[in-house]
Chain A
Amino acid sequence: MNSINQIIAITLMNLRNIPMRIGASLVIVVGIAGVVAVLVAILSMASGFEATLKSSGSPDRVIVLRGGSSSEMSSSLSREHSNLITSKPGVKNSDTGPLAARETYVIADLRKRANNSEANMPMRGVDARSFDIRDEFKIVAGRNIDFGRFELIAGIKAADQFQGIDLGKELTIRGASWTVVGLFETDSSIYESEVWVDNVVLRQNLKRSTGSSSLFVKLEAAQDYDMFEQALADDPQLETNIIRETTYYSEQSTSTTALITNFGYGVGIIMAIGAIFAALNTMYSAVSTRSVEIATLRALGFGSTPVVISVMVEALTLALIGGLLGASIAYGLFNGYTASTWGGTFSQVSFDFAVTPELLTRGIVWSCMLGMVGGLFPAITAARQPITTALRGM
């Protein structure tokens, strides 16, 4: 009881002193707010990017690539092989045939709206089945493409990022003029960063005779994957590499997410070191200006431990305010902010920063750790200083 009374009394005294040292106290608050805001913002970029790629795809969809290819960019499948693949067990069938789409994936240079710089925009040639196998596909403006024409529909994030993707406008890509006829959504997945055109028209335009990049296959059920994979492996005419769609995009996110996360922590740690020095300086100054008060309390019989704890509580309080401020800034400025970066296939992936509760908590935990480190040494100094020396204000 005594100790708690002591801690409360000294802590309240310290906290009431803050307005008298508002400038110095703000150094801690602002310093730590900056660290947390930057850390949370960068990590929210990583989490948003990861969430976009991990939410892409469906476990019952499979991407079939040429054997040895790990991405659509380097793959090519002939029509004959595609037809053979769709005849295998496990492939879902509809009244009009197997649910499988031949698609071609290329990149095109377009200028970004944000800074007028050229960037790689992913362009996907699709066939009629592409829409049947993707239940999440939805036209949100305009209409779908008419096959056989130089028409284009764009994911909403691609339209947001690149110049010229406006409904009704003509867009020159790879020497051909495409009319933007619609915008689509796919539940925030990576496809929203792409523009889609008729696969046949695209391949003719590219003068590409080697076949499509890939075959997207919808399975009867997600658990039919192994059976389907085995059937392809058992066919000597086929040399394919198959991968579940969810795995494909998830793997593409890994290196970029790790890069952003490491960058975030790197910047965060550098800033945190600066913030710790600011906190140390402020708390040493706070303890120094109150050394006589602290010594007086100790002379009256207050223990060293309550002194240490109360100084720590003060530092933690300031750090927590900084942490909450930084987290709020990160949330207010960046949550839902759309950005783009290179995905796994050297093309732009647009995604929303995701300032999640977990990231906010992580930021606030960081701020508390900085407050602890910043408060600990000054607190120990305050508690260890000989009372008789401190009473003389030395």
Chain B
Amino acid sequence: MAETLIDVNEVSKVYHRGNMEIPVLEELILSVDEGDFLALMGPSGSGKTTLLNLIGGLDQPSHGSITIGDEHIDQLSQGQLANWRSRNVGFVFQFYNLLPVLTAQKNVELPLLLTNLSTAERKKRAQAALAVVGLEDRSNHRPSELSGGQEQRVAIARAIVSDPALLVCDEPTGDLDRATADEILELLQVLNKEYGKTIVMVTHDPKAAEFANRSLHLDKGRLASAEAA
């Protein structure tokens, strides 16, 4: 039986705008096992991206606790959280967020700059990650020389290059056509099934959610329903 990797325990998140309090998540409880592929769905403003950001350690809850593996990430300082993210989480964004001045190879190497690996080892690992996403022959291309699908593949290579246990994907196919989106989702499935990555993916697209093991629906900051793929 798989162990729990993500434990979200009665988490609330409130944003402040002036004197106004805007609750986004309310006492949310969620558990994700190692090796799971979870799709978070819901209408705009339901809190799914906020939940993803909390799980990825990009933000911290107003109340409640979040444990990833053995780490209580809600108790970490900003510096500790940055360090934790670099070792444990790979991020895939809707608009890829590649650095335009760097080649695919250099973009993929970025997370490895936070390690003590040698230049040669960084290069070797980046090439291996690009091979996993099928872009080893595009390593010297800049983002502007790649298609949207290829850019997202480079972003996925960047997410896996430091071999994190968890991938958090925020609308990874939101900017792609159907065929390309399916290719990306198949790639995420490969990473989940063959490489054992735990994936939490936010999506609006029911078809994209079908690639996940299960889907959770959020509405107004609360979990509304769950369904297995």
Contact A302 B114 (CB under 8 A): yes
Beta-carbon nearest neighbor of A15 in chain B: B101
Contact B99 A301 (CB under 8 A): no
Query: How many residues of chain B are within 8 Å of chain A by beta carbon?
Result: 27
Residues of the B chain whose Cβ atoms lie less than 8 Å from the Cβ of A5: 113-114
Residues of the B chain whose Cβ atoms lie less than 8 Å from the Cβ of A6: 113-114
Contact B99 A13 (CB under 8 A): yes
Contact A300 B85 (CB under 8 A): yes
Contact B99 A298 (CB under 8 A): no
Max chain A Cβ within 10 angstroms of own Cβ: one of B53, B59, B97: B97
Interface string of A6-23 (1 = CB under 8 A from B): 100100010011001000
| A298 CA / B111 CA spacing, docked (Å) | 10
A386 within 8 A of B: yes
Residues of the A chain whose Cβ atoms lie less than 8 Å from the Cβ of B95: 292
B115 within 8 A of A: yes
Contact B114 A299 (CB under 8 A): no
Known: A1-B116, A2-B115, A292-B97. A300 touches B59 (CB 8 A): no
Known: A1-B116, A9-B110, A13-B101. A300 touches B79 (CB 8 A): no
Known: A6-B114, A302-B114. A391 touches B97 (CB 8 A): yes
Contact pick for A301, options B100, B102, B111, CB 8 Å: B111
B78 within 8 A of A: yes
Q: In A288-329, which residues have CB < 8 Å from any B CB?
A: 292-293, 296-304
Contact B99 A296 (CB under 8 A): yes
B91 within 8 A of A: yes
Query: How many residues of chain A are within 8 Å of chain B by beta carbon?
Result: 24
| A161 CA / B22 CA spacing, docked (Å) | 77
| A190 CA / B58 CA spacing, docked (Å) | 71
Residues of the B chain whose Cβ atoms lie less than 8 Å from the Cβ of A293: 97, 99-100
Residues of the B chain whose Cβ atoms lie less than 8 Å from the Cβ of A303: 79, 82
Residues of the A chain whose Cβ atoms lie less than 8 Å from the Cβ of B110: 9, 297, 300
Beta-carbon nearest neighbor of A295 in chain B: B97
B37 within 8 A of A: no
| A301 CA / B91 CA spacing, docked (Å) | 11
Residues of the B chain whose Cβ atoms lie less than 8 Å from the Cβ of A20: 100-101
Contact A299 B111 (CB under 8 A): no
Residues of the A chain whose Cβ atoms lie less than 8 Å from the Cβ of B116: 1-2
A51 to chain B, nearest CB (A): 48
Residues of the A chain whose Cβ atoms lie less than 8 Å from the Cβ of B87: 301
Q: In B100-143, which residues have CB < 8 Å from any A CB?
A: 100-102, 110-111, 113-116
Contact B58 A387 (CB under 8 A): yes
In order of increasing CB-CB distance, the 10 nearest A-B pairs are: A301-B86, A16-B101, A296-B97, A5-B113, A301-B85, A9-B113, A388-B53, A301-B114, A387-B58, A301-B82
Interface residues of B (CB under 8 A from A): 50, 53, 56, 58-59, 78-79, 82-83, 85-87, 91, 93, 95, 97, 99-102, 110-111, 113-116, 158
Interface residues of A (CB under 8 A from B): 1-2, 5-6, 9, 13, 16-17, 20, 292-293, 296-304, 386-388, 391
**Contacts A/B (CB < 8 Å), 24 sampled:** A1-B116, A2-B116, A5-B114, A13-B102, A16-B101, A17-B101, A292-B97, A296-B91, A296-B97, A296-B99, A297-B99, A300-B86, A300-B110, A300-B111, A301-B83, A301-B114, A302-B86, A302-B113, A302-B114, A304-B78, A386-B59, A387-B59, A388-B58, A391-B97
- Besides A5-B113, A298-B82, A301-B83, 14 more A-B contacts (Cβ < 8 Å) are A2-B113, A2-B114, A9-B110, A9-B113, A20-B100, A297-B99, A297-B110, A299-B85, A300-B85, A300-B111, A301-B87, A302-B86, A304-B79, A304-B82
